[in-house]
Structures are given as C-alpha cells and as structure tokens.
A and B are shown apart, each in its own frame.
Chain A
C-alpha cells in the first residue's frame, strides 16, 4: 500500500514527527491489521508528541496530535484534556472540520466536545 511506504519514508526522514505514527495507525486499521500494530503506532505518536511538547517544539500541533491519538484510543478524559488545550491555543478547530474528521462517535456526541468545537474559530 502506497500510504504505508510514504509514511515509512516520512518516519525515516523525521522520526520525531508524531503525525506519521498516527497516520500509520490509521492505515493499519484501514487494512484490518491486528490491533497490536495500530495500538503500537498510536503509542509511538503519543510518545513523539509528548517528547516534542517537553522540548517546546511545535506545541500547538503536537497538542492537537495528542487529542487525535486519545480520541482514536477512546480515552475521553485525555482527549478532552488536549482538546481544551487546543481551544486555549485558539486553534481553528471549527474551520478544520474536526468533528467530521474523527471516528470516535461517543466523543463526537459528548456535550463538552461539541461546546469546545462550536466556540472555536
């Protein structure tokens, strides 16, 4: 699958870029790979994002990546924690169409999630 090749290359070029692991998890999920691979890459995405945050690197996007990771893991509390931070950073969550781009149905119907999105740019 070409997306896997592209992501492997992206990781090779820039191992600290968290979104590549997140998308690799999405790609494996789409291919119905065993859950272990999906989970492993979500964990890698979380680790990379947190490491970047510790170094103060691209704080907004790494916070957003952590929101996506925890939303994918179904961890409501952690996902909302990072979404609140995204909101505090004034990220244009509404313009980005976040609600249409995540698959976690329970989270999408969560009142706090909806409130954070509706009050964002």
Chain B
C-alpha cells in the first residue's frame, strides 16, 4: 500500500569489497519512493548505520526556498565519485522504477532493485585497471545496501515533500545538468538500456546533443513510434513543419491505433492550413479515443476556419462537456455566439 513520498540521502566513503577491489569510493546515496512500498529507507539506513548518524528533515518548501541548502546538497553530489539514486514506488515514470548508479565521467548503471549489484571495475582508473591483480580478479561488485555499514557517517538527509515526484525530477535534472556527460553516457551502457529510459533522459537534453542521442535511439529502436513523435515535436519547435509531418506520418504508420500520433499529425496539417486533412486525423483520434476534448476542440477550430461555424460550435460544446474546465473551448464557444 502506498504511503507518503520521501527522499533520503547519505554521503560517505564506501569500501568496495571483493578480490579485485582496490579503493573506497566517495558515495552519495539517494533513495526515494513511497513509505510502505519498500522498506522505509530511513529505517534501512538507521539499521545499516547502527544509529551512528544524524537526520535533517527537509520539507519541499524548504528545499525550494533554501538556496544555501540546495547548493550544499548538490555540492555533496558533485564531490562524490559515485552517486546511487534508487527510486521506487512512484510510477508510471520509468525513472522512478529504476535506480541509477552514476559516476563522474563513467556510464550510468541502471538498477532494477535495491539489492542490485554493480560492477565497479569500470570506475577504477586506467592505472588501477592495468594492475595485474585487478585484471585477474573476479569483477568486484557494489551492492549499495551491503556497503552501507562501511559508510563513514557524515549526514543523512530526509526529504518529506508533498510532491516527491517533482522533486526527484528536479534532482535528477540537477545531476544531469551538473554532469553533462551523464545523460549521454547512459546510452552507452550496453544494449539493455530500455527505450523508455532513453525517452526519459532525452527530455533533459536539448540542442544538437538531443538530436544526436535521438538519432542513436532511432537507430536502435527503428520501429518505435514514440521516438518518431519526439523527432516530429523537435522539428515542429524548429518550424520544420514538413519534416515534422513526415515523422508523425511514420509514427501513425508504425501504430495506426495510437490517437497521439494522429493528433500530432493533425496539428501540423492544421498549422499548414490544410484543415480538411487535419480533420481526417482528428476524426481518427476521436474514433480511437472517444473521450478526447483536445481533439474535439482542435477539430472545432479547423471547422471554424472552414466557415463551418455551427458544426464548430457543436465540437466546442462536446469538448466542454468532456472537460468543463476547458477555458479555450469555453472561449471559442462564446466567440461563435458573438459572431
């Protein structure tokens, strides 16, 4: 049963155990989720650290307002060689189902459970990796829970925000912004990086970097309509309407039963002033998803510009029926009455 959202964090030195281990890593651990979904991390950490630590409880409001605190927190993250972000229980966003093991200038490793083991050999320096002992030894693993007792206590920070999901999103974004290579490195961690993790991290990128990564993702997942929708949206922002419509058409081709792809395609034709074509796609979107106030509203606009005001008014009315708070539809309904 889901409880209150939380985020907790701890920083310290984690000795890496195993025959090939040659170092301790400065670690920052963040765990987030819903109380009751997994073991309460405060309790997990308390047990693991044998009470040898202190708590700071930080509300979301404090987090927002206290720049000094945020600077300190992100400073700690930056100073750490290794950051583990373990997120669970806050679906549907994928970032909340996977943990991310992050190291400076190293690949992000995704963790699917709090007991996941991370191969840490890749985190060693070239010199360390060249060491014969390291080469020959079995690959050391980091299981962050197992290593918690080895953490040198500094401080545990517990967030109890009302909107943990938003806070986590910002947190990850800060990490990504502070370590620009992370978002790109994640995509080089092997063939098992799931598609939705690509989509999640692409949303943190912009400019040429986003295009490059999107191109890589499309090469790896050439039949995924979400990537074509994302590519189309980027082209739309760049005012490349023709390029955008080609991407949206491809998305429709890949999944003709997806109302989103039809909506996107229709919106381009609407922008191009090709209202009849736009209406065909709005109709398909409505057919696939009958409760779709945006489709009715947009179709109403297209009809309005085709001088079909009465039919347009009917569509605005349906949009308002389906979403009584839809201000744009209310406005357009009124506008037609004024005409």
Segment from A7-15, A35-43, A107-115 that makes contact with B: A7-15
B130 touches A (CB below 8 Å): no
Query: A90 vs B271: C-alpha distance in the bound complex, in angstroms?
Result: 9
Query: A27 vs B335: C-alpha distance in the bound complex, in angstroms?
Result: 8
Residues of A within 8 A of B239 (CB): 90
Residues of B within 8 A of A27 (CB): 334, 338
Q: When the two chains form the complex, which single residue of A1, A6, A30 contacts B330, counting CB atoms closer than 8 Å?
A: A6
Query: A2 vs B336: C-alpha distance in the bound complex, in angstroms?
Result: 11
The tally of residues in B whose CB lies under 8 Å from a CB in A reads 18
The smallest beta-carbon distance between A42 and chain B, in angstroms, is: 14
Q: When the two chains form the complex, which single residue of B271, B325, B326 contacts A92, counting CB atoms closer than 8 Å?
A: B271
> B273, B307, B331, B335 — which one has the most chain A CB atoms within 10 A of its CB?
B331
Q: When the two chains form the complex, which single residue of A20, A26, A92 contacts B327, counting CB atoms closer than 8 Å?
A: A20
Known: A6-B337, A13-B325, A90-B239. A121 touches B331 (CB 8 A): no
A23 touches B (CB below 8 Å): yes
Q: Are B335 and A23 in touch, CB under 8 angstroms? A: yes
Known: A94-B273, A121-B272. A14 touches B327 (CB 8 A): yes
Q: Are B305 and A10 in touch, CB under 8 angstroms? A: no
Q: Are A95 and B273 in touch, CB under 8 angstroms? A: yes
Q: How large is the interface on A (under 10, 10 to 19, 20 to 34, 35 or more residues)?
A: 20 to 34
13 additional A-B pairs beyond A10-B334, A90-B239, beta carbons within 8 Å, are A2-B337, A6-B337, A7-B331, A10-B327, A10-B330, A13-B326, A13-B330, A19-B328, A19-B335, A20-B334, A95-B273, A95-B305, A96-B305
Question: Which residues of A come within 8 Å of B, CB atoms?
Answer: 1-4, 6-7, 9-11, 13-14, 17, 19-20, 23, 26-27, 30, 90, 92, 94-97, 121
Question: Which residues of B come within 8 Å of A, CB atoms?
Answer: 239, 271-273, 275, 305, 307, 325-328, 330-331, 333-335, 337-338
Chain A to chain B contacts (Cβ below 8 Å), 9 pairs: A3-B337, A6-B334, A10-B331, A13-B327, A14-B328, A92-B273, A95-B273, A95-B305, A97-B305
